[in-house]
Amino acid sequence: MVWRVQPLKLLLLLLVMVGVALSATDADAARKKKRRHAAPPAPYVEKYAAIVLEANSGRVLYERMSTELRYPASLTKMMTLYLLFEQLQKGSVTLSTPLTASPYACSQEPTKLGLKSGETVSVEDAIRALVVRSANDVAVVVAEHLGGSEHQFAARMTAKARELGMANTVFTNASGLPDTSQRSTATDLAQLSRRLIIDFPQFYPYFRGQSFYWGGRSFEGHNNLLKFFDGADGLKTGYTRMSGFNLASSATRKGTRLVAIVMGGRSARDRDIQTAELLEQEFSKLGLGRPTPVIMAMSPLVLD
């Protein structure tokens, strides 16, 4: 009797051991499969990039990670404005041409002007709204008027980027609202800044605007360097959580104009101070520095 029971127990024990081994193997395989299918790490973990160049010649004076892909955020609107300035120059639109807001344009996420469907805004007010307010709804209004749809306009934006030598830039929308496919580099955005200055001297002064009045409201701009940095004369700010705080800046001293791009700042104040320090550093090398240090008193609460 004992002799018969022992083999049975042995068999059961072997079966249990095999089951445990198979379960472990299955669990290990499942873990490996999960690792294989895990989402890739988020792109552009390192957000910072910077470049300073001499505007007339395009000569690079300073750069750090300037060709690495970054999210442009509202620096995108510089290309939207470039294409709008082109149409103004050609006479296809005038500063008084009314642009009509669609339901889609009105549905854009803030920051925006707050247009209602069917409401119109003149081209000149649209320019000011893009520069000062960084209005996402207005960016789409411009895109739809010039391109038929934002998607078609974005294709034109990318084509123009290639024409301007911006080899690493892709636009998918007119505003800079978050999109993982929309990308650029500090080098490309510096080139775009230069071309805005060189190609449209009659329209570039709009980038100096610090306030904008429309619809009974007054809007204040986000470009603090215009208030605090000697010689600063314009361009654009940008911010999304994906991009960090971006700034395209131009400053002129004694006829020498420098363009600086800083991307991925940790705050608006951090971005502004970095930009000011880089510009001051390069002006100093050219013999155009200031004897007193750059003093920045910008609020850290600015979000674009």
Question: Which among 47, 66, 74, 243 is annotated as catalytic?
Answer: 74
Q: Which pLDDT score is estimated for 292?
A: 60
Task: Show the tokens assigned to 150.
Answer: 């934002």
Per the annotation, the verdict on 77 as an active-site residue is yes
Question: Which among 47, 66, 77, 250 is annotated as catalytic?
Answer: 77
- Count of residues for the chain? 304
Entry pTM = 0.82
What distance in Å separates the CA atoms of residue 294 and residue 184, rounded to the nearest whole number? 29
The list of the chain residues with pLDDT below 50 reads 1-5, 8, 10-13, 15-16, 18, 20-45, 296-303
Per the annotation, the verdict on 102 as an active-site residue is no
Q: Which pLDDT score is estimated for 6?
A: 54
| Closest C-alpha among 183, 209, 222 to residue 303 | 222
Q: Which pLDDT score is estimated for 149?
A: 98
CB 249 within 8 A of CB 275: yes
Q: Three-class SS of residue 265? A: strand
Q: Which pLDDT score is estimated for 46?
A: 76
Task: Show the tokens assigned to 25.
Answer: 């193997």
* Residue in the structure block whose two tokens are 């895109």: 143
Alpha-carbon distances of 40 from 29, 44, 45, 264, rounded to whole Å = 19, 12, 12, 21
Digit-coded pLDDT (tens) for 148-168: 999 999 999 999 999 999 999
Q: Which pLDDT score is estimated for 290?
A: 82
Per the annotation, the verdict on 134 as an active-site residue is yes
Q: Which pLDDT score is estimated for 164?
A: 98
| Closest C-alpha among 236, 230, 194, 248 to residue 49 | 248
Question: Which among 47, 66, 134, 160 is annotated as catalytic?
Answer: 134
What distance in Å separates the CA atoms of residue 134 and residue 288, rounded to the nearest whole number? 32
Task: Show the tokens assigned to 180.
Answer: 């993982």
Digit-coded pLDDT (tens) for 281-299: 999 999 998 866 555 444 4
Q: Which pLDDT score is estimated for 7?
A: 52
